[in-house]
Structure 1
């Protein structure tokens, strides 16, 4: 399965990059392990078999090619997803903390985090395939739970990254189909994030050559 996550990486100069990414998860049942014996705790990692798939040329990809290390986060903070997709995160260094393993910067506020080291790197089309090993992991905060508006924001965020691939009419139709989920089930944070993404989608569509609608 694919996990919609937030990934932090560190550049050779020490800059923190926070970006959304959908890594493949080979053993998703590990993600839902509860508390108690065998639970995720720092220093006692359980490994769900992540495969990172960054786009070539992205800051995340460049950092991974250099360091071969990243921290994958499970979070339901849709405002963070929106800010990361739109590259509107200021002072990312204030949002992370250090752990005993070098090269990893977990977010201070997330549900779970996994510090991973890349085992191999294979180019595949516009992306790389990077199977990982978990070196450390932890649980920080409780998960809010399922909410249709949160999922709508994630879908809109993904659409914002594909304005150069999807015809404008089709893209706007997909955003419109998500709007009722926001209207019916969103809180203030979800509404703000969805509106923020919608404005950015329109800005990006106006700045690029028009795609055919079919």
Structure 2
């Protein structure tokens, strides 16, 4: 299954880069409550892919703050979320994460548009309990995924999908979910280019 969250990596200067990402995890490991492997699929050409090619380590975070997720996807997470150095890898642990998995890349296939990076979890950290998502939070996650794919040639007008998600946010969301959805709607409107399918020249941003 795919587990959505945030990945932190180090840029060339050692500074933290944060990106939304959903690695594949093993169902048996999930059921056992012990995730030992992550299969990451960053877009080739993205900052995350470049960082992991240079330094094959990072941290994957499970979070319940969809406003932070939206701001990261929109590129407006300023100032950066509070973080501290990782314990086993060159990377950063987000202070507000529910669970964090430090990882090291063991195998890499960079021959396609979606790289395939197989990682070993080398350390696990638990923060505050994850209380779950309501329907509004799930809608924000879906909107965030949609926005991250607007650079693809096959991307479609995001308007209909966002309008379909809006009632879930308006009916069940709190202030943070409403703000997160608004951030993503503004970002989708800014990035969408009907004449070429998307702002393809910009490429993947995460």
Q: Match of 1:127?
A: 114
Q: Match of 1:176?
A: 163
Distance 2:20 2:28 in 1: 18
Distance 1:120 1:144 in 2: 33
Gaps of 5+ in 1: 34-45
Change (3 A) 1:210 1:104: closer
Change (3 A) 1:199 1:99: closer
Distance 2:47 2:28 in 1: 27
TM-score normalised to structure 2 length: 0.88
Distance 1:13 1:82 in 2: 25
Q: Give the number of the structure whose alpha-carbon radius of gyration is greater.
A: 1
Q: Match of 2:60?
A: 72
Distance 2:190 2:12 in 1: 32
Query: Do the aligned residues in 2 keep the contact of 1:149 with 1:181 (CA within 8 Å)?
Result: yes
Name the Cα RMSD after superposition.
Answer: 2.0
The 5-angstrom pairing of residues 1-16 of structure 1 reads 1-16=1-16
Distance 2:172 2:69 in 1: 18
Query: Do the aligned residues in 2 keep the contact of 1:27 with 1:48 (CA within 8 Å)?
Result: no
Shift of 1:90: 2.0
The counterpart of 1:86, out of the listed 66, 74, 85, is: 74
TM-score normalised to structure 1 length: 0.85
Q: Is 2:98 the partner of 1:98?
A: no
Gaps of 5+ in 2: 199-206
What is the number of residues matched between the two proteins?
196
Query: Do the aligned residues in 2 keep the contact of 1:28 with 1:48 (CA within 8 Å)?
Result: no
Q: Match of 1:39?
A: none
Q: Match of 1:22?
A: 22
Change (3 A) 1:210 1:47: closer
Moved over 6 A (4+): none
Residue by residue over 1:123-181, the C-alpha shift from the partner in whole angstroms, topping out at 9 and shown as x without a partner, is 2521111111111111111112230000100111111122343232xx21111110110
